[in-house]
Amino acid sequence: MTPMRDQEPSSAGPVGGERRLSTKEAAELLGVKPETVYAYVSRGQLSSRRVPGGRGSTFDAQEVEALARRNRRENGGSPGSGGELSVRTRITLIDKDRYYYRGVDATELAARHTYEEVAEWLWTGRLRPGVTFTAPEASVEVARRAVDALPEHAAPADRLRVATIAAATADPLRFDLSEDAVLGTARTLIPTLVAALPPVRHDRRGKGPLAHRLWTRLSGRPADEASLRALDAALALLVDHDLAASTLAVRVAASARAHAYAAVSAGLGVIEGPLHGAASGLAHRLLLDVLDHGDAAPVIADELRAGRRVPGLGHRLYSGEDPRARALFGLLEEIPRAEPALAAARDIVATTARHTPLHANVDLALAVLTASSGMLATAGETIFAVARTAGWIAHALEEYGERPLRMRPSGLYTGPKPPRPLPEEDLWTPRE
């Protein structure tokens, strides 16, 4: 909601010895609209003070100037960006309910190419038809031993993070940040992560497309070609999604010149949040509840009564349907055993739309895939993390080509103003 604009004070001169600015003056200095100044206040980026005897607000000139400097530094000198960090990238564009990898429609790439081929396109801008990723046995063995040492209840991100760190220790050349070296790391790390996961079902196919190998780590059921195609497409659709939280963490690590394994580990540390990589698990559980009840209405009612948002619906970057969900649902419709879960997903969307018209997002589509394939609720998080590793590598490569440590925003200090006297020491006498 846009805050009601205060009346401007007739003068915004010094108040209490500080130089104060009116809302209009602050907006001009920041290069934004007056409404945006109040948005800065609501986000804690600026503090305001009422004019004595008036209705207008004034702002500390030093705070406003510091915020203006930070905005210019973060946005390449362009004002009016709202103060949010922006990063130049040639990898992914999200625009008008569609998204593109290096200018090519991502859903079309996923429909026609394997995950490995899409990853190569993201890294190099070239397609390598038929490419598959394989891992050296030494790397797999080190990673597998580390993962096997974890307790059974370890989360997917825990296993993958431990496997990443273990694989790094087996690679003495990990500090080489040249493009060829990082690409070599990427092509072996991703299959190492999959191979290090404990198998649910043993399959003689140790090679072939990565999706085939990942299936045996997620489901005890034999896979038909349609299911494998859906899993492969899910990986390709999830490779990258612009500057998501985990990707930003990866770029911060790469900005400090952390090696590729460490950058990937930074991303894995972020995806465990329920608002990011773990969101599909919540949608998976919701879907199973709807299947058990045979009706979405009571399940949705319980979610809302508990004050929880309904998982698997809506996306802040898409006003319409998530294109990743649309593409994956289309493939799932070709799998007969997925029909009950698909019907439950449609029921969830229709029931919620009675009050809030939200479209399905990729988490709900991923939940249909995992639930109908006999996978655990955590399988979606594994699929997401393995897929996104390729995107993280692409962003790390891009960041290695930028000025070091540029991902260093300045804090807007809001604590007590210095100088303050040294605090008195607490006198504590031990008991005899």
What single string gives the DSSP state of each residue in 260-289?
Answer: HHHHHHHHHHHTTSTTTTTHHHHHHHHHHH
Q: pLDDT tens for residues 21-43?
A: 988 888 888 888 887 887 788 66
**Is the per-residue pLDDT at 244 higher than 90?**
yes
Residue carrying structure tokens 């009706």: 295
Residue carrying structure tokens 């429909």: 111
Nearest to 213 by CA among 136, 149, 134: 134
- pLDDT at residue 425, rounded to an integer: 80
Mean pLDDT in residue range 237-244: 96
CB of 394 closer than 8 Å to CB of 240 = yes
Mean per-residue pLDDT of the chain: 88
Q: pLDDT tens for residues 109-159?
A: 999 999 999 999 999 999 999 999 999 999 999 999 999 999 999 989 899
Q: pLDDT tens for residues 284-301?
A: 999 999 999 999 999 999
- pLDDT at residue 166, rounded to an integer: 97
CA 230 to CA 224: how far, in whole Å? Answer: 10
Q: Which two three-digit tokens encode residue 54?
A: 């008036």
pTM (two decimals)? 0.79
CB of 185 closer than 8 Å to CB of 261 = yes
pLDDT band at 66 (very low <50, low <70, confident <90, very high): confident
pLDDT band at 80 (very low <50, low <70, confident <90, very high): very low
Q: pLDDT tens for residues 351-392?
A: 999 888 899 999 999 999 999 999 999 999 999 999 999 999
- pLDDT at residue 319, rounded to an integer: 87
- pLDDT at residue 185, rounded to an integer: 97
**Is the per-residue pLDDT at 205 higher than 60?**
no
- pLDDT at residue 79, rounded to an integer: 41
pLDDT band at 73 (very low <50, low <70, confident <90, very high): low
